Structure 1
Amino acid sequence: MTLLGFACIASLWAAAEAHAGGVVGSGTPASCTEAALQAALAGGGLVTFNCGSNPVTITLTSSLTISQTTEIDGGGPAQGGKVTLSGGGSVRILFFDVSYLNSTSTPVTLTLRNLTLANGYSNRGGALRAVGYNARVRIHNSVFRDNDSTAENKEGGGGAISMHYGALHIEDSLFERNRGINGGAINNLRCPITVLRSTFRDNDSTPGSNASVNFGFGGAIYNDGASRHSGIGNQGIGGEVVIRDSVFIGNQARNHGGAVYTYLYYPDRSTIAGNLFMSNTVYARYGGVSANGGALMHHNGPLTLHNSTFVGNRSEQNGGAIRIAQSTTYTAWSTATLVNLTIAHNRADALAANRGSGGGLHIEGGQVTAINLTVAYNHADEFGGGIYNASGSPANAQLRNLIIAGNQLGGGHTSTQCFGALSGSPNLQSPSGSDCTTGIVRANPLLAAGVANNGGPLPTLALLSGSPAIDAGVNCPPQDQRGVGRFGPCDLGAFEYVPDSAYSHKSFAPIVMR
């Protein structure tokens, strides 16, 4: 999106910000009731709470419907604020409905700030459902916990949020233990989504017993398109999926994307950067074998994926950490650029079957360019302990400055490090297995045994002194995954080795587990 485009969206949101509203409560917890909240919301505008000094929970007996610009602020500096809105395990908490507006109307904004939404229950959006082309939802410093959108065993979902059309923006928030058919935490249909500095932990899209191929996508986030204008017949306008500086831990799906599933329509695009994906799982769907992308399944369209760590994720079939599957409809559009990634200790295996390919990365279709990746200590039951290219053409998978090392296979198979045709140089692999690329260097890269805090915001795999990967790279990004500048000729992999003697001081951001 152009700077002008961002400015236009920002101005629309700013113009719609709330300036009037009501106060819930008169200074005591008992005064903060469902009826008081409904009354404060009636006129839109800014809604705040006066419930005393201690945290308070307001349990709803029916969903609150909002249809005009509104901001709800729970107060307090702590994440989730001092106010919890609860659905009591039986009702959706908020329904933001601006479907009555036509496509040329001024956008209407719902802002949730310093608020906890818990125990909501519905068929779509356990905590919040938003519908309408002009709906704008902004979420800041809030918590969505234990919400459920499995009331119907149908395609839909969004344990916490179901966003259909409009636009969704999330910052500094926590999504924990939410459950949905598609999108354990978020189900996003045909609208741009931005997620910044947020944590998704133990969300789940495995519920239900239906064998449908349309169930179980996105343990944390399910995204189907990024603009209502994208697709055949509207080829000039697309939207963007942006996920930055966030943490995905312990999410699970059944079918595609243990943490995140993205599906784009021409000319949508996606940027996923600065994230930690740890211990996410995608299981095979009921009655079938499909399981793709233990952490991330990207389906169609441009993907920019960089400065991220994938560790300890698992798929029961393809792509222990990542699977990229591209459409052949728009060849020039079907691209993925992967830069400065640590992909380690992931698995593509099925406990009850000899099945699993691409322990770290699984590629099918499109054009993938991978630069300065460390792909190490991954496992696949069948093919490609580190990387699997199912496309059959080396031209579609260009590798530069990769370390592919210490990956393993199940018994009786031979493609230890890679499987399928790959190309590019320079790269380095462990001595075992067939060559990943023509002329690849075979040597022990002298990597640390596991990911650790080596400086920077995310864990990485360090190069040890004397590694043959040191000074062996060409045309590297100016910084490594941690944000460390290159020292002399650049190194292979996501970690730049810098001798302690070269530092006058070190100033790295700490690892943050929100």
Structure 2
Amino acid sequence: MRVRWAVVVASVTAVTASMSGLAGMPGAAASVAASGATGSGSASGVVSASAPGNPSGRAFVPPEARAVDTSRPSRVVGNGTPASCTSQAVVAAVAAGGVITFDCGPRPVTIKMTATAKVRNARPKIVLDGGGKVTLSGGGKRRILYMNTCDQAQGWTTSHCDDQETPQLTVQNLTFADGDATGQGADGGGGGAIFVRGGRVKVVNSRFVRNRCDPTGPDVGGAAVRVLDQSRDRPVYVVNSTFGGAAGQGGVCANGGAVSSIGVSWVILNSVMTHNAAIGRGANPARGGTPGGGSGGAIYTDGNLFSVRVAGSIIENNSAKEGGGAVFFVSNDRTGTLLIENSALRRNRSAGFETKGYPGIFFLGAGRPKVVRSTLK
């Protein structure tokens, strides 16, 4: 896909929101080519033969955001055959922690999860690397991967669960398909493929397709990924990854058809988010007589002091029934910042409201969004 860059002049019209439906609204660098992801199977057929992410993206990827070396794994799921790569083996490996790789044979394989893989909070490091050939499927029935430092069932390791350095979770070279967190209300729900609270998480060279979470609710979100409480307010890195990617492959949730968070910063580099949808109704807080939701077709963020940076990425053909067809960003105390650089945001439909001069974006934060060498249309 060829991206035509355009400069958005800094003197763009001051941020004012269209009032339609707004009542009640609260105030990678080439050297990182990384781990050789090639393509993965899915629960209902092959997703794509191409690598995930935006091949034209040239955003520099800092060392801490890059794929982890898995040449010496702590444990391996499978013994060389597809049949040996089971849900039970994945669940056990994630619980044990360490660097996890797969040996499922030479061809792409889908592992249908019969239970959610849960990180134990005493494990300092969990790396899950599918080698570009593994799809983890929730089968449209369950969330795929879960980490929560405040969930005592996974082990209580500190007295300040909302701000601790570990566990540190990396998912790389994997496809997450057909995860569904509908009805999972703990800590606000969301995260059809991956739910994380606490520690740190990063996503590298991965693909998310057809994931779901609750269809209504004013703050539930993240059909693919939901994140809360990152250690020392460090950002979630998403690098060389695809959310959706084609018609019928996107995520669907009340808010945040791709990703969602509260009080968490994001750095999204050289990635693609397309065909995701926020399908709730009534915004946040919910208008009278509505269940709430419908904002952030691709990205939904809320909180006070946090930041979102999108660089070298493509966000297009996403939709929101309320605000922010591409990005919904609300910093309640107006300290948060949004930066979009060397990216293309196109054809993201905001059915209710968006910020004047910024197609596909609803922004309440410090000043105006900063848009550099990017297309918004």
Alignment TM-score > 0.5, same fold: yes
Q: Deviations over 1:202-256 (max 9, x none)?
A: 000024689934411110000113xxxx5xxxxxxx4321111110111000211
Q: Is the partner of 1:200 in helix, strand or coil?
A: strand
Structure 2 residue aligned with 1:202:
275
Q: Is the partner of 2:176 in helix, strand or coil?
A: strand
Structure 1 residue aligned with 2:344:
276
**Contact 2:354-2:360 at 8 Å conserved across structures:** no
- Aligned counterparts of 1:104 and 1:261: Cα–Cα separation in 2: 25
- Aligned counterparts of 1:58 and 1:219: Cα–Cα separation in 2: 28
**Contact 2:221-2:261 at 8 Å conserved across structures:** no
1:51 aligned onto 2:51: no
- Aligned counterparts of 1:35 and 1:107: Cα–Cα separation in 2: 24
Q: Is the partner of 2:374 in helix, strand or coil?
A: strand
- Aligned counterparts of 2:308 and 2:111: Cα–Cα separation in 1: 33
Q: State the Cα distance separating 1:98 from its structure 2 match.
A: 1.5
- Aligned counterparts of 1:58 and 1:84: Cα–Cα separation in 2: 6
Q: State the Cα distance separating 1:39 from its structure 2 match.
A: 2.2
Structure 1 residue aligned with 2:56:
none
**Contact 1:13-1:107 at 8 Å conserved across structures:** no
Q: Is the partner of 2:170 in helix, strand or coil?
A: strand
Change (3 A) 1:33 1:208: farther
Structure 1 residue aligned with 2:174:
115
Q: Deviations over 1:352-410 (max 9, x none)?
A: xxxxxxxxxxxxxxxxxxxxxxxxxxxxxxxxxxxxxxxxxxxxxxxxxxxxxxxxxxx
Percent identity for Structure 1 against Structure 2 = 32
Question: Which stretches in structure 1 are left out of the alignment for 5+ residues?
Answer: 1-9, 76-80, 231-237, 285-289, 312-514
Bigger CA drift: 122-131 or 62-71? 62-71
Q: State the Cα distance separating 1:268 from its structure 2 match.
A: 2.8
**Equivalences, count:** 278
- Aligned counterparts of 1:117 and 1:11: Cα–Cα separation in 2: 24
Q: State the Cα distance separating 1:294 from its structure 2 match.
A: 4.2
Structure 2 residue aligned with 1:86:
137
Larger Rg: 1
Structure 2 residue aligned with 1:131:
197
Structure 2 residue aligned with 1:190:
263
Q: State the Cα distance separating 1:97 from its structure 2 match.
A: 1.2
**Contact 1:204-1:252 at 8 Å conserved across structures:** yes
TM-score by length of 2: 0.68
1:219 aligned onto 2:283: no
Structure 2 residue aligned with 1:148:
212
Q: Deviations over 1:285-319 (max 9, x none)?
A: xxxxx5656411111214321111123xxxxxxxx
**Contact 1:73-1:113 at 8 Å conserved across structures:** yes
**Contact 1:254-1:291 at 8 Å conserved across structures:** no
TM-score by length of 1: 0.51
- Aligned counterparts of 1:281 and 1:12: Cα–Cα separation in 2: 34
Question: Which stretches in structure 2 are left out of the alignment for 5+ residues?
Answer: 1-61, 151-155, 183-189, 245-249
- Aligned counterparts of 2:272 and 2:203: Cα–Cα separation in 1: 13
Change (3 A) 1:13 1:243: closer
Q: Is the partner of 1:149 in helix, strand or coil?
A: coil
Q: Is the partner of 1:219 in helix, strand or coil?
A: coil
1:257 aligned onto 2:324: yes
Structure 2 residue aligned with 1:307:
373
Structure 2 residue aligned with 1:297:
362
- Aligned counterparts of 1:33 and 1:172: Cα–Cα separation in 2: 27
- Aligned counterparts of 1:153 and 1:216: Cα–Cα separation in 2: 8
**Contact 1:282-1:291 at 8 Å conserved across structures:** yes
- Aligned counterparts of 2:164 and 2:348: Cα–Cα separation in 1: 41
Structure 1 residue aligned with 2:225:
161
User: Which portions of structure 1, spanning 4 or more consecutive aligned residues, are displaced by more than 4 angstroms?
Assistant: 10-14, 16-20, 151-154, 207-211, 290-294
Q: Deviations over 1:18-40 (max 9, x none)?
A: 97531000000011011111222
Alignment-mate amino acid for residue 309 of structure 2 = V
- Aligned counterparts of 1:71 and 1:54: Cα–Cα separation in 2: 22
**Contact 1:12-1:107 at 8 Å conserved across structures:** no
Alignment-mate amino acid for residue 269 of structure 1 = T
**RMSD, aligned α-carbons:** 2.6
Alignment-mate amino acid for residue 299 of structure 1 = L
**Contact 2:218-2:282 at 8 Å conserved across structures:** no
- Aligned counterparts of 2:314 and 2:242: Cα–Cα separation in 1: 10
